Structure 1
Amino acid sequence: MTDEIVPFTIDVPQEQLDDLANRIRHTRWPDQETVAGTDEPWKQGMPLRAAQELALHWSSGYDWRRVEATLNSFPQFRTVIDGLGIHFLHVRSPQEDALPIVLTHGWPGSVVEFLKVIGPLTDPAAHGGDPADAFHVVVPSLPGYAWSDKPDHTGWGVPRIAAAWEQLMLRLGYDRFGAQGGDWGSMVTLAIGAHHTDHLVGVHTNMPLVIPSTPPEEMTPTEAAAVAGLDHYMNWDGGYSTQQSTRPQTLGYGLADSPVGQMAWIVEKFWSWTDCDGDPLNALTADELLDNVSVYWLTNSAASSARLYWESFKHVDFSPIEVPSAISVFPHEIFRTSRRWAETRFSDLRHFDELERGGHFAAFEQPEAFVSQVRSAFRTMR
């Protein structure tokens, strides 16, 4: 088995882009949602008009080569870990003593989420910051996502990914590093924080997973709102996770064949989970939404990405986190916590902040706030 790290460049064949545009133009559309014209047009899913408008832009106005060039402007690599090829961005800081950090995305995200924060994190001096806050940044694509390999057998759940990320950082020559993540990235980051601590400086997450520990009658208004949000998720927002954690293969046939199906499956979550006042275009541009969707389409990773739910969604690890830790709570996150709840799991909580704006895709939606939080968090751990 080789430890070779191979440079990687994204180069999507033009025929794939032509096929994408052709498929969109020949979409067979469903009938309109019955809540059209109400104050909750997204209540049954992505509205027909919104889907048609975004799909039209995808087929006729959107430029994949733009984001492809942006991704290729950063050093990218692949390496085989535990038998699986892993794609990652590796951007070293001009500050030689910068702290290495691994940033992990989730579903339905990708490395695209972090493109706006890599520069400020690696070179704070060039972005009005303190060079002492610099990081060497590593951004892997999860197994089954984007340009990482698709596992062809079971077993690639969160524990195995956490172990692989430790090996990735060591292979890059980093004997001491931090970890950050949200969504599945949070679970991977916290699995590193619970089980792979020998080389770990500490962890930061914007989606802390903790069990509410306060009786309802003793909850603060913020805690009660967090529980209400979880209840809403379970009743109205979690259908995707049930499907992906039970029958990801069945779902994959539709999403692999229909770009509009793949688009709607993902963009609905950006409506639900961003701080967008009812329209995801208030949080991100149409191009930014499609950059992320296009990664899934062009790498045909609908089924392979969903299998992470089959592997790990029903087996969440709530092991104690004893390494130095930091939490940033964005107001439109799916799962939120109070400090006292967090302290029941995080015994060395050095940074806890509740922000005024932002949601589940923190680095994508609120890059300046995200960078500030990561810098503040790891100042307590360096």
Structure 2
Amino acid sequence: MSDATPFTYHVPDAAIADLRERLGRTRLPDQAPEAPWTYGTDVGYLAGLLAYWRDGFDWRAEEAALNAFPQVMVEVDGLAIHCLHVPGVGPAPRPLLLCHGWPGSVFEFLDIIPRLTDPARFGGDPAQAFTVVAPSLPGYGLSFRPGQPRLGVEEIADTFAALMGRLGYGRFLAQGGDWGAFITTRLAYRHPERVAGLHLNMLPVRRDRTGIDPTPEEAAHYERVAAWLKEETGYQWIQGTRPQTLAFALTDSPAGLAAWLVEKFRAWSDCGGEIETAISRDRMLANIALYWFTGAIGASFHPYWARMHRPWPVPDGERVRVPMAYAAFPHEMVRPPRSMAATMFADVRRWTEMPRGGHFAALEQPALLADDIRAFAAAL
């Protein structure tokens, strides 16, 4: 623990005032005449969200919610890595690395962490408590400093292995969704002696068609993936090829930043078209505001650039051999069948079909996700 420096986050009053002033000068585009959301973020919805962000949203309340958890800064290879480091309440809490993705942040985890660290508070078994380490990804949020080196999935996985060692954990469990799923999978592949178990709520299996004789379930999956790649991945091509150009607009305009991120919260959550039925408006804005106040949006694109210019993080023909579990939320973007998971994961111990929820599982369904993580760990 000698390498960990206690940390509390405080945004200057002047930065909040500047944000409100910028929001008040927003110039909105016209709304295309077809149905709302057809071509991206709906103008009417965004206008209302921006007005609330300017006049109703309480950043200080969200900041206090974050600071209610113990946080540390740890230097790893010259980078200052921010993380929530929350001790478990139980006889022998197990260390758990919890990894977010894009366009997420550690704000995703504020509701799930207490369920993992203090299960007895929610009617669970204190023997299943975890000590949670939830880092901000390098280049994201509070793990960003202007001009710092950009890291891809491979480097982040090695950084987190070192981070856990600096915090005193030689062996631990790992959980992730979105980039967090890629990072923890790469971590389990590269450092299997360190990872006691891997729990995912997104499967980072290859998306190109393989094999000449897919099963009907696999063929249906490939059809869904083809439609998803055509209609839903434009952001990946921009962020993966020209991230710097996009960063100018989103770093300068809070309205532009909100429009870019809100569309993903709506499209990827199990919300039926109404975002706030799955994710609270305040918590979503806290997440967006963290990108704004830290200026990290441009750096957060780099894993996309690295992914488009490198091989798959687990090499062809190789498999992850640590025990693995998957929580299949019904509104996840891509849901490969179990037969395809076996091509990358050699030891699938648990496969849970969830009744509801989408891509942002920790935000949308913290109780379901926490219960599944605990059940997987208890069976190891």
The equivalent of 1:159 in structure 2 is 154
Tell me the CA shift for residue 131 of structure 1.
1.3
Structure 1 SS opposite 2:143 = coil
Of 74, 82, 92, 2:87 maps to 92
* Partner deviation per Cα, 1:243-270 (whole Å, 9 max, x = no partner): 1111111001100110010001001001
Give the match for residue 185 of structure 1: 180
Please state how far the C-alpha of 1:83 moved relative to its aligned partner: 1.1
Distance change >3 Å, CA 225–CA 3, structure 1 → 2: farther
Unaligned runs of 5+ in 2: none
Larger CA deviation: 44-53 vs 325-334? 325-334
The Cα shift of 1:232 comes to: 2.6
Superposed displacement of residue 227, structure 1: 3.0
Match of 1:142 among 124, 137, 149: 137
Which of 261, 276, 283 is residue 271 of structure 2 equivalent to? Answer: 276
CA–CA separation in structure 2 for the residues paired with 1:229 and 1:262? 29
Equivalent position of 2:216 in the other structure: 219
- Residue 376 of structure 1 is matched in structure 2 by 375
Please name the residue that 1:59 is paired with. 54
Give TM-score scaled by structure 1 length.
0.94
Q: Identify which of 224, 244, 247 aligns with 1:249.
A: 244
Mapping of 1:192-231 within 5 angstroms?
Answer: 192-211=187-206, 218-220=215-217, 223=218, 225-231=220-226
Aligned position for 1:6: 5
User: Aligned pair in 2 of structure 1 residues 206, 214: CA closer, same or farther (>3 Å)?
Assistant: farther
Residue 129 of structure 1 corresponds to 124
CA contact (8 A) 1:93 1:122 kept: yes
Is the contact made by 1:154 and 1:311 (CA closer than 8 Å) also made in structure 2?
no
CA contact (8 A) 2:144 2:294 kept: no
User: Relative to structure 2, which stretch is displaced further, 341-350 or 228-237?
Assistant: 228-237
**CA distances 1:183-228 after superposition (whole Å, capped 9, x unpaired):** 11001000011001222101111111224667677323xx455434
Q: What is the alpha-carbon distance in structure 2 between the residues aligned to residue 216 and residue 48 of structure 1? A: 45
Q: SS of 1:351's equivalent?
A: strand
Give 1:73's match in structure 2, choosing from 68, 72, 75: 68
1:318-373 alpha-carbon deviations (Å, 9 max, x no partner):
34110111111111111212111111221111111111211110000111111111
Corresponding pairs, count: 374
> 1:156 deviation in Å?
1.4
Structure 1 alignment gaps of length 5 or more = none
Q: Distance in 1 between matches of 2:309 and 2:201?
A: 21
Three-state SS of the structure 2 residue aligned to 1:147 is helix
What residue identity is the alignment partner of 1:261?
G
- Aligned residue for 2:335, secondary structure, equals coil
Determine if the alignment matches structure 1 residue 43 to structure 2 residue 42: no
Kept in 2, the 8 Å contact 1:244–1:307? The answer is yes
Worse-superposed segment, 87-96 or 109-118 = 87-96
The answer to whether the Cα contact below 8 Å between 2:357 and 2:365 also exists between their aligned partners in 1 is yes
Question: Does residue 295 of structure 1 match 2:294?
Answer: no
Aligned partner of 1:318 in structure 2 is 314
Shift of 1:164: 1.0
- Following the alignment from structure 2 to structure 1, what is the Cα–Cα distance between the partners of residues 38 and 223? 17
Q: How far apart, in 2, do the equivalents of 1:75 and 1:227 lie?
A: 43
SS in 1 for 2:57: coil
1:161-176 pair list within 5 angstroms: 161-176=156-171
Q: Does 1:339 align with 2:343?
A: no
Q: d(CA) in 1 for partners of 2:134 and 2:148? A: 24
CA distance in 2, matches of 1:162, 1:140: 12
Looking at structure 1, the residues matched to 220 and 357 of structure 2 have their Cα atoms a distance apart, in angstroms, of: 16
How many percent identity over aligned positions? 43
Counterpart amino acid of residue 318 in structure 1? V
| Aligned twin of 1:109 | 104
Match of 2:351, as an amino acid?
A: F
Report the AA paired with residue 56 of structure 1: A
Deviation digits for residues 139-185 of structure 1, max 9, x if unmatched?
00011111113473655111111111111111111122000001110
Residues 257-304 of structure 1, C-alpha deviations (whole Å, 9 max, x = no match): 100100010010011100111121221121121111111111111111
Give the counterpart letter for 1:208 in structure 2.
L
Rounded to whole Å, the distance in 2 between the matches of 1:290 and 1:73 is 18
In structure 2, what is the Cα distance between the partners aligned to 1:139 and 1:101? 8
- The reply on whether 1:361 has 2:360 as its aligned counterpart is yes
Please give the TM-score of this superposition, normalised by the length of structure 2: 0.94
Supply the distance in 2 between the matched residues of 1:214 and 1:283 (Cα, whole angstroms): 37
Tell me how far apart the structure 2 counterparts of residues 251 and 185 of structure 1 sit (CA, whole Å): 23
CA distance in 2, matches of 1:302, 1:137: 25
- Is the 1:162–1:189 Cα contact (8 Å) retained in structure 2? yes
Contact 1:20–1:259 (Cα < 8 Å) also in 2: yes
SS at match of 1:102: strand
AA in 2 matched with 1:287: D
